[in-house]
Structures are given as C-alpha cells and as structure tokens.
Amino acid sequence: MENLNKATIQRLLLYYHYISDHLAHTDGVSVSSAEIARLIDVDDTQVRKDLSALGLKGCPRVGFKMAEVKQTIRIRLGFNDCHKAIVVGAGKLGGAIGSYKEFFDYGLNVIALFDNDPNKIGLMIGDHVVQPVDKVETFIRDHDVQMGILAVPADTAQDVARKVIQAGLKALWVFSSTHIEVPENIAVRHEHLLGGLAEMLYSMKMQTIKQSV
Amino acid sequence: MENLNKATIQRLLLYYHYISDHLAHTDGVSVSSAEIARLIDVDDTQVRKDLSALGLKGCPRVGFKMAEVKQTIRIRLGFNDCHKAIVVGAGKLGGAIGSYKEFFDYGLNVIALFDNDPNKIGLMIGDHVVQPVDKVETFIRDHDVQMGILAVPADTAQDVARKVIQAGLKALWVFSSTHIEVPENIAVRHEHLLGGLAEMLYSMKMQTIKQSV
DNA sequence: TAGATTGTTAATCGATTAACAATC
DNA sequence: TAGATTGTTAATCGATTAACAATC
C-alpha cells in the first residue's frame, strides 16, 4: 500500500469532486484518465498513476468505472470512517467551522463546542450548546473524541493544545493564527488564513505586473 | 526580480512570523540562516536561497538584519500595499472572515459585506452593515474594490463570481466549497476546507497504522 | 482486425540538499 | 589571524511528463 503525499491527496479530492459533480448526471458508467485530466488541468499519465496507486484498474478503450473510483477514494482518504471531533473556541470562526454541514459527508462528526467566555457558554451554535472549556478534558475521555479543532486566540492556542492532547486527542486541526508544537505521534495541520492571503496578494501583484508589461 | 513559487511564499511567511514572534523580544539585531532554519525545520541553505531571492544580503559571521528581513518580506508579499476587499455571503463563514482583524495588518482591508438574505441585510457584522447583494456591482465600481471574498453557497458561487468580475474585481478568494472558473487575467485561490480535512484524516490514518505496527 | 486507452518504464524538470570557497 | 557564516555551484532527490508496448 503506497503512501500518498499531500499533492496526491489534493488531486484525488479533485477527481472525486469532478466525478461527483460533472459526471453524476451523465449516463456513462466509465471515465477515461484523459477526460479527468482535461478538466482538472493535470497530465493524463498523472491521473493513471494516482488511480493505480489506489489499486484501481482501468479498462483499455473504456476507462475507469466512476462509482468504483469514487468509493475507493472515499475509503482511502478515510471519508467512510467516522471521526468524532470537538471545536474549542466558539467565536465566529469556530462557530462557522463547528456548524459546517458538509464535513459530515466526509466522515467528520463535530459533537461539541467549548469556550471560556461566560457569554458564549450556553449559546446554541449549529446543533450544539457551547460548553465551558474546563469540561473539555472529561468530555474527550468520556466520548472517545479523536480530533480537536482549535479556533482559540493565538496566545492561548498552545496551552489548549497541550491540555486536549493530554486528555487523549490524536489530531489537531488548528485555525488559530499561530504555530502549535505537538508530540510526533499527534497529527496536526495548521489552516493558516494568512498563508492563503499571502498567496492571493502575491498573485494579484504578479497579474498587475503582467498587465503593465 | 525572481518569481516566487507557492512553497517559497509560505516559507517567507514562516520566517516573517518567526522573526516577529520569537526574536522581537530578544535584544539582538541580526539572525543567522541556521537559527531560522532550526525552528522552521528547513535546510539553512534554503533560507539563504530564499532571502537572496528577495535581494537581501547577509553578513558573514553575523547573519541577516531582522528588521530588514521583515520589511523586505512585507514589501515583496504585498503586505504594505492597501487592498480593498468585499465579502459576498454573510453567513457564518463569511461573517468570520469579514471580521477577521488580523488581515488589516497584512494589507487587506475588508470594506463591505453583501448577502441576498433579507434577514441578514442590515445586520452589523464586525464594523460593517450587511448590504443587499444587488448593490455589489455598483459598490465595486464606486469604491475601486480589488478583491472579492466569496462565501456564498456552492451552487451560486460561479454566478456571483461572474458578476463581480464583470464589475471589475481582479482577484477572488473563494471559500465556497466548489471550483470556480475565471478568465486567466483574474487571480483566484480556492480555500477549500475539505482539502484540509482530507489531509487531516489521511495523516490520522497513517498515525494509527504506524502505532499498530 | 484496428484503434483507443491503459499501465509502466525512461527522460525531463525543478526543487532541495551538500559541499566549499569567499568574506567579514 | 582564526573562525563562523554567507553565497553559490554542483549533486541529489523526487515528482512530473513523454514514450510506447500491452490490451481489450
């Protein structure tokens, strides 16, 4: 079972969405690597390499079975497993993420939100009542939570991270705008909005230069 | 003036934050490439390459002047220019992004929010009153807006994109979970939460496998 | 069969790392 | 001067693309 790198994961997700969106309402059963490649804007060899890394076999002159490709991507990326997650920090960003309906379809089940602000505790956000953050450790143990979504202010993020990891969380998805250090057996991903902004601003600048030449 | 790729931009941002956060309260003036490299977890040659791509010169036995590095990164990534942006879609995610204070420090100035929901129009979000979306085109022209932040439902995103581009927007930062097609002279970036989730889930899976071996 | 598409090996490309002379 | 650190060239590595035989 080959390991997938990040670029491959992103491409697989694109294939998945392409098949779901654009081809679900055609009556075809199969799709060729060239067809996927054209819309995703990658090389068709790349598509075949990626699919074969999942163990998928295509059929010469026909292509790959769409339903099979979809299911295999779901399984391999973990969308078919159920992952229990909590959100810590029920501000605007935490609230938005905590009530993001689409996650459920991808195997992520947000089961609670926590905050330390007495004004937020007790509020209803999405399907959940905001709970006091001192209850978070007990909650993690009682409900066997696997993922923590952090949307707390940058200056408390590391501290919160330490607490929830100690309570047993195995993965942190960090939306606080700071870098969190974690033990190496913990999965972590920083979803840094400023990183996205930096790329946006730079490509705007490049466009301007291109136009003025 | 060398072109920067995405990976380089992300590293530069890390250098910037590292210098701001960890070194601002030391009394040193300079920092060595090795020192930055250690905390960012990249090769020190890489740091020197990146900095030299910005035209920065270090001093043997001393290192790089921190203030100069910071300023040069800000200038090169466009943080020192002022970019006017609007948010279309004042739901939870749009509201969170539209009132994200840190953007201002990086040259992004959100000056208005729009929605088509009568219940949201007139609401105060952050510093702005939500305006009806039919006013968005006039607003873009009147205020010389450069960037559009899209947080509308997936099924209307392409349509909204078309409208705001026609009105003169040069850049789209898309938070709707769909892929938007734009003319090639428009800068676009998809901030796909599901892409982040897919990577998280996959690395959780890998951790589990590693532990069970 | 003929021809489109797969699957895979080899070639290319770009980015990262190693080596080391130049320099303050 | 001696030695730490830069700046740059060369080597390595991995990912992408091209070429093409295998196959249905």
Q: Do B185 and A211 touch (CB under 8 A)?
A: yes
pLDDT digits (tens, 9 = 90+) for B77-97: 999 999 999 999 999 999 999
Q: Which residues of A touch B204 (CB under 8 A)?
A: 78, 83, 146-147, 170-171, 187
Task: Spell out which residues of chain A touch residue B187, defining contact as CB-CB under 8 Å.
Answer: 200, 203-204, 206-207
pTM of the model: 0.93
Q: Which nucleotide minimizes the distance between its C1' and the CA of A64?
A: C6
Of chain B, the end-to-end C-alpha distance in Å amounts to 49
The residues near A180 (Cβ < 8 Å, ≥ 6 apart) are: A150, A157, A158, A161, A172, A174, A188, A190
State the pLDDT at residue B213.
Answer: 66
Distance between CA atoms of residues A107 and B198, nearest Å: 10
User: Angle at CA A199, nearest 5°, toward A207 and A153?
Assistant: 145
Q: What pLDDT score was predicted for residue B3?
A: 87
Residues of A in contact with B182 (CB under 8 A): none
Averaged pLDDT of chain A: 94
Q: Tens digit of pLDDT for each residue in A132-153?
A: 999 999 999 999 999 999 999 9
Q: Which of B79, B201, B208, B213 to mutate to test the interface with A (most CBs of A within 10 A)?
A: B201
Instruction: Give counts: helices (H), strands (E), chain A.
Output: 8, 9
Q: Range with the lowest mean pLDDT among B3-7, B109-113, B133-137?
A: B3-7
Section A96-100 average pLDDT: 96
